[in-house]
């Protein structure tokens, strides 16, 4: 039985795509509900919200790029 060698770059790309596909709806649903109910006064909340949305957007782009070649 042969195992494919471990490649950190491929793993990170897989992880970002997995996160974006499995957590996009919760991030955006909770984010929009939170934005509509609260006024952001805390910089940490703003950075976390923007960071999660950027992570999801990058994952969608990487997945599209991977699947458009097939």
pLDDT (tens digit per residue) in 17-70: 998 888 877 776 766 666 666 666 677 777 777 788 888 889 999 999 998 876
For helices 8-37 and 43-68, what crossing angle results, to 10°? 130
d(CA 22, CA 15): 10
53 DSSP assignment:
H
Would the pLDDT of 4 be above 60?
yes
d(CA 48, CA 67): 29
Residue reference for tokens 């699947």: 67
Per-residue confidence (pLDDT) for residue 63, from 0 to 100: 92
Would the pLDDT of 1 be above 60?
no
Per-residue confidence (pLDDT) for residue 58, from 0 to 100: 92
pTM higher than 0.75, yes or no? no
């Amino acid at each position: 039985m042969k195992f494919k060698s471990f490649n950190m770059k491929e793993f990170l790309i897989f992880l970002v795509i997995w996160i974006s596909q499995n957590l996009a709806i919760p991030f955006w649903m909770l984010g929009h509900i939170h934005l509509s109910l609260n006024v952001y006064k805390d910089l940490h909340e703003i950075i976390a919200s923007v960071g999660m949305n950027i992570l999801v957007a990058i994952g969608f782009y990487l997945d599209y790029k991977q699947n458009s070649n097939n």
